[in-house]
Structure 1
Amino acid sequence: MKIPLFRGAMVAICVALGAPVALAHDYQVGAIRIDHPWARPTVAGQMTGGGYLQLENRGKTADRLVSVSSTAAERVELHTMKLDGDVMRMRQLDAIELPPGGSVELRPGGDHLMLVGLKAPLELGKSIPLKLTFERAGDVMVEVKVEKAPASTAAAPAAEHADHHKH
């Protein structure tokens, strides 16, 4: 369990000493660790957006991410993207499997969360809530930070969700 007062004190100490500040952006529910939930910014009128994160099953039993919801969108779907010849195909998944001791990265151009029916644009620097539901571990609320794509994913398709409402 994180203690906000302790985190605040550590940030203050790091700032006072001129040290770089790196706050944890991870969550835990049961044996499942959720690391760095993020989304790309969207533009006005864009009705869909993508959500990304790393899932790690630290347990000895398989689990599955079976649903996701958010007050920021009408619904959140689990999706995958795969290259089929020269065409990138996207399809909805029923669940994302998490083998015991395994991890799955939801990232641009691969498995990801599709936020459908955005209620407002995803603005750089803001956060949105997500509720992740795992078959065994249960529910966990996470904050998804809206940020530019990390350098490791910057080359992935940036507009993968721009016209996805036609899917």
Structure 2
Amino acid sequence: MRILLTGSVVATCAFMLFTSGRTLAHDYKLGPLAINHPWSRATPGGSKTGSGYLRVANTGAEPDRLTGGSSPLAERITVHASSTDNEVARMRPVVGGLGLTPGQTVELKPGGAYHLMFEGLRAPLKANDKVPATLTFEKAGSVEVVFDVAAMGAGEGAAKHDGMAPGMHQNGPFQ
């Protein structure tokens, strides 16, 4: 049996092989929780805070809470809520953590309702850095992740996997 492969089929297969390792590296699982592509932005020199973004899905039957985390590059990682009141942006810690109801997906993103704060940075975050961290959940426990650092001011597009459609990961739609 002879199989003919067109250039586009070969290119697509090569692309999938090349990117699948990076995709796997940014999808984490902790029991019923799926954590998708943690990332951050570069920070100015001397800054003591940075932001972290990701998506968390609770595929289980029980609620859980993202309570924060830790990193060797920061004193602590906390969950913050953002709001705008009379055109003034405000941010505050989420006391008790961010609730994750069964079947819910929560996206922590720039300009969104929630984000993570790296507090007490020991050094500035630089574009292309990898920031090791441990995220802590009330019921599921802790999971080690790596935040990719994008350029200062990077937007939501930095959160997407190379070549992946929004809301997709290597195994199909993000749940």
TM-score, scaled relative to structure 2: 0.73
- Regions of 4+ moved over 6 Å: none
CA deviation map 1:19-56 (0-9, x unaligned): 36322111000100000100001121111110000000
Describe the SS at the equivalent of 2:69.
strand
Residue equivalent to 2:107? 105
Residue 109 of structure 1 and its aligned partner are, at CA, apart by 2.0
Preserved contact between residue 78 and residue 93 of structure 1 (Cα < 8 Å): yes
CA RMSD of aligned residues (A): 2.1
Residue equivalent to 1:164? none
Cα 1:64–1:145, aligned 2, differ >3 Å: closer, same or farther? same
Matched-pair identity in %:
44
**1:114 equivalent in alignment to 2:117:** yes
Describe the SS at the equivalent of 1:60.
coil
Equivalences for residues 144-159 of structure 1 within 5 A? 144-148=147-151, 149-152=154-157
Residue 68 of structure 1 and its aligned partner are, at CA, apart by 1.1
Unaligned runs of 5+ in 2: 1-9, 160-175
Unaligned runs of 5+ in 1: 1-13, 155-167
Equivalences for residues 4-153 of structure 1 within 5 A? 18-19=14-15, 21-22=18-19, 23-24=22-23, 25-94=26-95, 95-110=97-112, 111-148=114-151, 149-152=154-157
TM-score, scaled relative to structure 1: 0.77
Cα 1:127–1:153, aligned 2, differ >3 Å: closer, same or farther? closer
Preserved contact between residue 76 and residue 116 of structure 1 (Cα < 8 Å): yes
Residue 112 of structure 1 and its aligned partner are, at CA, apart by 0.4
Matched residue type, 2:15 = A
Residue 141 of structure 1 and its aligned partner are, at CA, apart by 0.5
Q: Give the aligned length.
A: 140
Preserved contact between residue 109 and residue 156 of structure 2 (Cα < 8 Å): no
Greater CA radius of gyration, 1 or 2? 2
Matched residue type, 1:44 = G
Cα 1:73–1:151, aligned 2, differ >3 Å: closer, same or farther? closer
Describe the SS at the equivalent of 1:19.
helix
